[in-house]
Amino acid sequence: MMRPDLQQPPSIEDLDLLAETSQLLTMLDRDRLLERVIQLTVRSLGAEKASLLLHPDHTEEWNQVFIKHTNGSSKVQRYDQEQSLHFARRVLDRGLAGWVVRHKQGAVIEDTEQDERWHIFPDSTSGARSALCVPFLYNDSVLGVLTLLHSAPCHFSDTQLRLLTIIANQATVAIRNAHLFNTMHRQQRQLEAILHAMPDLLLVLDEEGRLLIANEAAARLLENGATQDSVVGRELREFLHHDSVLYMIYETVENPIKTGQSISFETRSEQQRRDYLVAISAWENSQESATYPAPAGYVVVMRDITTLRDLNRFKDEMLQMASHDLRSPLALIVGYCSLIALETPEESVVRDYLNVIQRSTERMKTLLDDLLRVEQIRNSPLELHEQIDVLDLAQVVLNNVRPLVDSKQQHLEVKLSLDNLPGVVVNPLLVREAMENLISNAVKYTPVGGRITVRSYIQTGQLHFIVEDNGIGIPRQALPRVFESFYRVRQEDGEHAEGRGLGLSLVKTIIERHNGEVWVESEVGVGSRFGFWVPIE
């Protein structure tokens, strides 16, 4: 039963305490906040000792801290990590704080010697006869427990319990605010560190082209000697005269792209003599309302690809040299070998040497032709203006590879579902070359008497072409690289097969030029399935 003196209205001192407590909401330093809570409650409620424990179950958000205040001293002591955990586990298991956490409500103990909720530990030196304990509740979870002690019984009242509960609620909000502020501050520092370490240039613009974020690399592009702080808040058009590379970005902002979409292009800065790969994505805040419309803008990432472009230019120069400068010596070697052979007796061993030279030279010439062919397809404009009958094209391919299949006495099974198909717009010469390469590759790595199956069909607006064999197969670790130029799988059963590692690379180049995709499935000793699809225009 509540005592009559506990039903009195709050005093002026209580109101002053609540006023001071409301100021806690302005504090963002958590440790100072906790110390202030203890000092206020001890002073106002006349406690001799106090402890504030942050619940150890919240290890992802809260460090375990135990703070203790002794009457007569203004200092607040903090236990170290090990001491705090030891105390927390013990008190939450058997002490009053544990009861408060389990029941999620405050408690007053008038006499510790007569209340079962109070447990006296063997090493306890508190000498407490009365106690007051309240939880810090947030979203029905206990974040911490504040306990006040006094050596006299009946020192704390139910009115003080309600008062301390109000203080705890205010402190809980303040603690969460401090935690959120510190988290945001830490994340901001992490973002700044990431932006500073990024080698790419990063710009974040609002929908009007005003700079919201720019890392140091981007700031230097915008203006000589500029910093992040000096360019943020200004409009992109202010910097257009500094570098021509900014015009295409500005034009994209002036002609908005849809949210979630992105565009990319390559451009060159004539002022810096650098090449860039630019990617622009549109973003929009999902928290939109009628009162507060969602802000939108653009994220611009510029990657310096000058080194790659220099290497590409060097590669082109080397290919040009191979195309022009190597063909002449190869032709001379073949010609002089033929002249020498004319004056060499048939039974002479020199003729064998000359044959080896000629065969090796022919292989070099074929390799050179294949390499130039791949580069020509990769870099030359692709004209898809011819509408063809895919069934007729497939029949031409099968007729061309039939002698190769028969030479190894292999069984060729054909399954074409291309009847009544409207004309497909592709480059017939290139697609035919891709098909023949897949079949000849299967013939090469399938033993004598093996089986090869060719399938082609239309599905979901795509032309599919698949070649399956029961050959030696490809190891799993090699599958990601089979379409790379010059890559050949080193396998005991396949060492005898001749090749230059350009056939599948050529297939991949052709199909990707048609906006399609190549794929492979294989198992060693079982066989392989190579295929591709191209969209039907």
Q: Which of 2.40.40.20, 2.40.160.40, 3.40.50.2300, 3.30.565.10 is the CATH number of 387-535? A: 3.30.565.10
Helical (H) or strand (E) element with 313:
helix 306-324
* The amino acid at 358: Q
Q: Which of 3.90.600.10, 3.30.450.40, 3.40.50.450, 2.30.30.230 is the CATH number of 4-183? A: 3.30.450.40
pLDDT, residue 375, reads 67
- Indicate the average pLDDT of the chain: 80
Q: Residue 280, SS3?
A: strand
Same topology, domains 198-284+294-304 and 387-535? Answer is no
**What is the rounded CA–CA span in Å between residue 124 and residue 122?**
6
pTM exceeding 0.75: no
Report pLDDT digits (tens) over 244-296.
Answer: 788 888 887 777 676 667 788 888 887 778 888 888 888 776 655 444 444 57
pLDDT, residue 495, reads 47
**What is the rounded CA–CA span in Å between residue 65 and residue 31?**
9
Domains of the chain: which residue ranges? Answer: 4-183, 198-284+294-304, 310-379, 387-535
- The percentage of residues in the chain with a pLDDT greater than 90, rounded to a whole number, is 11
pLDDT, residue 6, reads 45
Is residue 95 within 8 A of residue 79, CB to CB? The reply is no
- Strand-pairing partners, residue 518, are 532
Assign 61 a pLDDT band (cuts: 50, 70, 90).
Answer: very low
pLDDT, residue 73, reads 58
Report pLDDT digits (tens) over 146-163.
Answer: 889 998 999 998 888 988
pLDDT, residue 222, reads 85
Mean pLDDT check: name the lowest of 39-48, 137-146, 206-215, 498-507. Answer: 498-507
- The percentage of residues in the chain with a pLDDT greater than 70, rounded to a whole number, is 80
pLDDT, residue 499, reads 58
Assign 62 a pLDDT band (cuts: 50, 70, 90).
Answer: very low
pLDDT, residue 435, reads 92
Does residue 132 register a pLDDT over 90? Answer: yes
What is the chain's length?
537
Distances (CA, A) of 293 to 204, 205, 284, 285, 286: 19, 17, 10, 9, 10
Mean pLDDT check: name the lowest of 14-18, 62-66, 177-181, 500-504. Answer: 62-66
* The amino acid at 216: E
Is residue 167 within 8 A of residue 41, CB to CB? The reply is yes
Q: Taking residues 143-147, what's their average pLDDT?
A: 87
pLDDT, residue 454, reads 93
Per DSSP bridges, beta strands 107-109 and 76-78 are: unpaired
Does residue 502 register a pLDDT over 80? Answer: no
pLDDT, residue 83, reads 62
Does residue 383 register a pLDDT over 60? Answer: no
Q: Which of 2.30.130.10, 3.30.450.20, 1.10.540.10, 3.40.50.620 is the CATH number of 198-284+294-304? A: 3.30.450.20
Per DSSP bridges, beta strands 141-150 and 130-138 are: antiparallel
pLDDT, residue 295, reads 53
Q: Residue 212, SS3?
A: strand
Report pLDDT digits (tens) over 341-356.
Answer: 888 888 888 888 888 8
CB neighbours of residue 221 within 10 Å: 23
Mean pLDDT check: name the lowest of 76-90, 276-290, 428-442. Answer: 76-90
